[in-house]
Every structure is written in structure tokens, then in C-alpha cells.
């Protein structure tokens, strides 16, 4: 039996962030990971051949750049533990099948000039969108890295001003409806509608319009951070911080249940019978569908509501490829963005593709997104080589009845063949490939239930203080003291936010510690 002040279940970046704050404040921390590797969705691995470093899940770090964790380097991840970011000038671009392109730069005027190729009116509308996104960014950012305010109080606050009511209206709208209000050219509309797709939903879904403002606000204020050496460099820095403060991070430790004594989380027990005792608290990156099976005596209604949370119907399938050299795009324009979207020539094709996915069918037109980050960070590949990170959306349950294990190679062939519409040398440069189907996503992390990289759907009834449920929205479980939740299924949602900081704040308060004074390295 091992004993620590804090025992954390799972080494995803959110759990590591919470554990690192506690370790830096002097607590003895043990982090347990079921896999042989660390990092959950923030991991870099040699998935194809030696020397090719692939980001298995998260590829760029966007929203965490506004987190005081990095913005103020509270834990010294950059100044002490070697975390470095590259910020390319072009964070995101669309490449249309006819060879035309549309880029978003950190400089809004450069973006407006690119949009003006299609419509001067849309360029002016974009300038207003950019200005509004910048005005709303401080308010949005203030809600992302601390425990969420009550939903009712938040809505009441918005209702007190004209600006608040305008913000609330955008919160309720679909991306499609709002983009039709803003822009006249369908390629400009499609360019921004694709942002909703990156959240695993159609642009026609209600309550997605705000994504354009949040995405653009962060893009222009911070850029897309490409971690030098791979996405897992963030994980490595967090582990270095924990270990530097006397903590342990242990692989191959699959936790079976949370031990409870007198209504208080007292430790954990692993599948192989090891016991880790927690003097102060337990942190759990445990999906709401699995929570009740790991905690004895959990309130039946709380458990029922947790297990009733909804998963996004769409899942991701990813192809990681080792390349003998760079891709050669058919477009005459320079393809130099962190995130590149391969899009059809007409907007209706995109919308109908997401409609088919809604009904559990394969998209008739694949919505490929890709990144070739070796063009920004040569340390990821052998000299002269390159890597490809490419994703598409597909149902977790295949409509043709085949298993993903049997059929994922066929689907990857389809993706690469479709990429050939945009790239002339696909067949020549692919040396090796690794495919993660929606089922594989779930296998790599229980947080990615049914292939949902956000843990659960990002619907209005599963956001903010109601994520994943109203009872669990403050990172705690009713009736269980000193147990704290982290993960993409908690506020603010999936993606690399560093959201474990909010969990740490709750823990500091409960343990009688001062987060402002103790929650950072001086």
C-alpha cells in the first residue's frame, strides 16, 4: 500500500494540471495511469516508424494559451520545465477542391484582404466580426479557467444589458443562420461553418454560432500553439513539475474503484489489487457513464443522471502517416497553416454531408482536416521526411454492419483517395500509416466514450455549470467528500484548456489553502 496527500486517477492533461498545482503547493501527489504511456489526449508517440513523432489526438494547443497556467506561467512549465511553443503566422485555412483557398491570420487585416478575394462586403463584415470577437474575448476567457457560475445567474447577468442580450442571442443561434446574416459568399460562409464541424457538430445545430467568435478571438489574440517536439511536450512538462516537487506518476495502474470511508474518498484500488491511500483528496478523470460503477453508494439519482448524459453522435477517425517528403498540393497557393480544411466547392455539399452523419450514415463527401506540423517543427521527423495528421467524422456504429477493426483500413483508403483531389503525390509519399477508428479512440482513453473526443456532447444542457450534469458541474460528487472530477466531460469541455486549474481551485478552497498565494511557483 502507498500513501500520499493526493491520489489522481488518469494522466490526461487536466488531471496532471490539477495534480501539479497541488504538488507545487507542497502536497505529496501520486498520479495513476492505466496505459503504458502518459497524457490521455495530449500525447506524442511513434505510431508508425522510429523517428516519426505523431500527436495521437490533440495537434495544436489553442485555448490553453489564455489560461494563467501558461499566460502567466504559474507553474513554470515554460521557464523551468522546457515547454516551448511555435506560433505560425497562419493558424487555419480552407483549401477548396477547385484550388482556391481562404486563410485566417493572426493579423485581422491580412485575413480581411484574403476574404476580399471573394467579397469586399464580406471583408468588411469580417472586420466587425473580428472586433466583436476581441471585445467578447475577456468575458469568455474569464469563464474558462475557473469553476463555472450558476447557469441561472449567468443568464440573468446577460439579460441586464444590450451587449449581454446580443451575446445571449448569438449563444442560441446556429452557425449557419448567423453566418448567413454576416456573409454573402458561400465559400466565406463555409470557411467559418467548418469551425462548428471541429466541435463534432453540423453548422445547422443550434447554439453553435458563438464558436466563430471564440475561435477567432483566441486565434487572433494567441495564435495556434504548436508544442516543440510534439503535443506531448505539455504532458512532459507537467510530469516534470510534479516529480520535481516530490510527486509520482505511475503507468500501468488501472484503477478499478474509489475507496470510501465515512463518506469521504480515502484512496483507490487498482485492477491488480494495489491500494493507494489519500490523506487529503482523490482526483478522478472518470467519465460520467462509468462513475457510478467505481463509487460504492453513489446517490441513485445522481448516478442515473450521470449515466444519462448524451454522447456526440459523430466520432473521429484519424490517419497518422509517415511521409517520405512534403505533400504537394494541387492549389497554386501556399498551404502553410497549422490546421487545413479540405472543402468542397459549394456550401450545400458540406451541410448535406453533416446531415447524413446525423442519421448514422457515412458522409458522402469526407470532411478532411489535416496538419503537417513537421513543416514548423523539423524535430518531429528524420531529416527530409514529413508527417501527416488527418481526420474525418464517422458514426461509432458503422451503418454497413462491419466492425471498425475489420474495416478501418478501407476507410483510411477512402480518406487518402479523397485527399488525392487536393494533393498530387499522396500515393508516392506515404511510407507507413496508423489508423485510430472511433473504437480505437475509446480504447486509448475511457474519457473518449464512443469516440467522442469531448467526452460528452457540447449541447446547451451539458455546458457550463450543467456539464456533465447540474449535480456534477462543480467538479464534485454529492455525498462524497474530498473527491474531485476532471476531464473533457467537465466545464469548459473537450480540447486543451488546462481546465484542471479550476478543479485545483476547488480543492485549495476545501483544503483551507490560498490558491493565489500557494497555487503558483514564485
Q: Are residues 297 and 323 in the same domain?
A: no
Residue that terminates a domain, selected from 221, 246, 277: 221
pLDDT of residue 103: 98
Least confident of 120-134, 148-162, 297-311: 148-162
Within 10 angstroms of residue 231's Cβ, the number of other Cβ atoms is: 27
Give the model confidence (pLDDT) of 134-176 as tens digits. Answer: 999 999 999 999 999 999 998 999 999 999 999 999 999 999 9
Query: Is residue 176 in a domain?
Result: yes
- Contact indicator for 371, 340 with CB cutoff of 8 Å: yes
Q: Are residues 346 and 430 in the same domain?
A: yes
Q: Are residues 315 and 413 in the same domain?
A: yes
Q: Are residues 388 and 321 in the same domain?
A: yes
pLDDT of residue 406: 97
What is the pTM assigned to this prediction? 0.97
Look up residue 511 and give its DSSP letter. Answer: T
Q: Are residues 399 and 461 in the same domain?
A: no
Of the candidates 473, 476, 478, 451, which has an alpha carbon nearest to the alpha carbon of residue 462? 473
Q: Are residues 260 and 276 in the same domain?
A: yes
Q: Are residues 386 and 429 in the same domain?
A: yes
* Euclidean distance between the first and the last CA atom of the chain, given in angstroms as a whole number: 34
What the block records as the C-alpha cell of 200 is 463534432
Peptide bond before residue 492 is cis, with ω within 30 degrees of 0: yes
Between β-strands 2-9 and 92-96, what pairing exists: parallel, antiparallel or unpaired? unpaired
Query: Is residue 201 in a domain?
Result: yes
Q: Are residues 417 and 467 in the same domain?
A: no
Give the residues across from 340 on adjacent strands: 93, 370
pLDDT of residue 83: 98
Query: Does 522 have pLDDT greater than 90?
Result: no
Query: Does 43 have pLDDT greater than 90?
Result: yes
- What is the residue range of 151's domain? 109-119+129-221
Query: Does 1 have pLDDT greater than 80?
Result: no
DSSP symbols for 373-442: GGGT-GGGSSTT-EEEEEEEEEESS-TT---HHHHHHHHHHHHHHHHTTTBS-HHHHEEEEEEE-HHHHH
pLDDT of residue 440: 97
Looking at every residue in the chain, the average pLDDT score rounds to 96
pLDDT class for 96, splitting at 50, 70, 90?
very high
The mean pLDDT of 207-219, rounded to a whole number, is 95
Rg from Cα positions in the chain: 22
pLDDT of residue 474: 97
pLDDT of residue 411: 98
- Contact indicator for 480, 125 with CB cutoff of 8 Å: no
Query: Is residue 53 in a domain?
Result: no
pLDDT of residue 519: 86
Burial (CB < 10 A; 0-12, 13-18, 19+), residue 142, is exposed
Which domain CATH number covers 477? 3.50.50.60
Calculate what percentage of the chain has a pLDDT beyond 90.
Answer: 95
Residue that terminates a domain, selected from 419, 444, 469: 444
pLDDT of residue 278: 98
Query: Is residue 494 in a domain?
Result: yes
DSSP symbols for 282-335: EEE---HHHHTTTBTT--HHHHHHHHTPPPPSEEEEEEEEEESS---BSSSS--
Interatomic CA distance for residues 274 and 253, integer angstroms: 8
pLDDT class for 496, splitting at 50, 70, 90?
very high
Query: Does 471 have pLDDT greater than 80?
Result: yes
Give the residues across from 370 on adjacent strands: 340, 390
Report CA torsion sign: 500, 506, 509, 514. positive
Query: Is residue 474 in a domain?
Result: yes
Q: Are residues 413 and 333 in the same domain?
A: yes
Query: Does 314 have pLDDT greater than 90?
Result: no
The mean pLDDT of 55-75, rounded to a whole number, is 96
Q: Are residues 300 and 329 in the same domain?
A: no
How many structural domains are present in the chain? Answer: 3
Query: Is residue 203 in a domain?
Result: yes
Q: Are residues 246 and 315 in the same domain?
A: no
Q: Are residues 145 and 207 in the same domain?
A: yes
Query: Does 364 have pLDDT greater than 90?
Result: yes
What the block records as the C-alpha cell of 207 is 447554439
Strand (E) or helix (H) holding 260: strand 255-261
| Residue bearing cell 490553453 | 64
Interatomic CA distance for residues 342 and 418, integer angstroms: 9
Give the model confidence (pLDDT) of 475-486 as tens digits. Answer: 999 999 999 999
Give the residues across from 488 on adjacent strands: none
Residue that terminates a domain, selected from 186, 221, 256: 221
Query: Is residue 48 in a domain?
Result: no
Query: Is residue 186 in a domain?
Result: yes
Amino acid at each position: 500500500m502507498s500513501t500520499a496527500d493526493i491520489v489522481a486517477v488518469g494522466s490526461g492533461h487536466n488531471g496532471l494540471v490539477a495534480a501539479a498545482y497541488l504538488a507545487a503547493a507542497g502536497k505529496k501527489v501520486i498520479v495513476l495511469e492505466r496505459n503504458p504511456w502518459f497524457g490521455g489526449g495530449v500525447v506524442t508517440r511513434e505510431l508508425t516508424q522510429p523517428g516519426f513523432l505523431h500527436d495521437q489526438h490533440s495537434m495544436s494547443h489553442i485555448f490553453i494559451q489564455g489560461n494563467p497556467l501558461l499566460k502567466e506561467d504559474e507553474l513554470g512549465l515554460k521557464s523551468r520545465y522546457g515547454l516551448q511553443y511555435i506560433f505560425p503566422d497562419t493558424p487555419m485555412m480552407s483549401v477548396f477542391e477547385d484550388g482556391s483557398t481562404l486563410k485566417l491570420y493572426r493579423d485581422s487585416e491580412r485575413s480581411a484582404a484574403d476574404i476580399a478575394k471573394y467579397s469586399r462586403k464580406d471583408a468588411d463584415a469580417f472586420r466587425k466580426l473580428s472586433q466583436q470577437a476581441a471585445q467578447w474575448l475577456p468575458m469568455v476567457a474569464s469563464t474558462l479557467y475557473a469553476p463555472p457560475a450558476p447557469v441561472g445567474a449567468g443568464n440573468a447577468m446577460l439579460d441586464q444589458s444590450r451587449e449581454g442580450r446580443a451575446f445571449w442571442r448569438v449563444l442560441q443561434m446556429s452557425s449557419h443562420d448567423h453566418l448567413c446574416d454576416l456573409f454573402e459568399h458561400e465559400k466565406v460562409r463555409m470557411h467559418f461553418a467548418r469551425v462548428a464541424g471541429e466541435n463534432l457538430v453540423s453548422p445547422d445545430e443550434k447554439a453553435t454560432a458563438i464558436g466563430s467568435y471564440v475561435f477567432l478571438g483566441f486565434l487572433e489574440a494567441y495564435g495556434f500553439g504548436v508544442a516543440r517536439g510534439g503535443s506531448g511536450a505539455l504532458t512532459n512538462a507537467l510530469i516534470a513539475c510534479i516529480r520535481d516537487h516530490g510527486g509520482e506518476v505511475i503507468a500501468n495502474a488501472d484503477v478499478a474503484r474509489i475507496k470510501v470511508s465515512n463518506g469521504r474518498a480515502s484512496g483507490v484500488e487498482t485492477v491488480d489489487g494495489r491500494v493507494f491511500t489519500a490523506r487529503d483528496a482523490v482526483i478522478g478523470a472518470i467519465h460520467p457513464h462509468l462513475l457510478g460503477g467505481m463509487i460504492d453508494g453513489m446517490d441513485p439519482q445522481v448516478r442515473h443522471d450521470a449515466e444519462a448524459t448524451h454522447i456526440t453522435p459523430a466520432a473521429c477517425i484519424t490517419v497518422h502517416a509517415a511521409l517520405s517528403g512534403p505533400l504537394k498540393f494541387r492549389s497554386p497557393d501556399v498551404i502553410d497553416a497549422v490546421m487545413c480544411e479540405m472543402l468542397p466547392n459549394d456550401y450545400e455539399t458540406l451541410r448535406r454531408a453533416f446531415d447524413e452523419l446525423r442519421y448514422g450514415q457515412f458522409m458522402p463527401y469526407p470532411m478532411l482536416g489535416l496538419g503537417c506540423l513537421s513543416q514548423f517543427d523539423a524535430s518531429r521527423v528524420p531529416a527530409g521526411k514529413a508527417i501527416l495528421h488527418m481526420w474525418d467524422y464517422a458514426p461509432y456504429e458503422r451503418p454497413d454492419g462491419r466492425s471498425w477493426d475489420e474495416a478501418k483500413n478501407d476507410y483510411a483508403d477512402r480518406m487518402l483517395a479523397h485527399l488525392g483531389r487536393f494533393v498530387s503525390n499522396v500515393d508516392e509519399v506515404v511510407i507507413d500509416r496508423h489508423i485510430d477508428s472511433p473504437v480505437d479512440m475509446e480504447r486509448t482513453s475511457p474519457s473518449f466514450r464512443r469516440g467522442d473526443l469531448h467526452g460528452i456532447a457540447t449541447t446547451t444542457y451539458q455546458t457550463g455549470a450543467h456539464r456533465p450534469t447540474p449535480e456534477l458541474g462543480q467538479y464534485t460528487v454529492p455525498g462524497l467528500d474530498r473527491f474531485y472530477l476532471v476531464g473533457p466531460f467537465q466545464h469548459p469541455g473537450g480540447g486543451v484548456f488546462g481546465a484542471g486549474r479550476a478543479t485545483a481551485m476547488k480543492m485549495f478552497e476545501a483544503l483551507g489553502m490560498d490558491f493565489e498565494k500557494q497555487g503558483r511557483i514564485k
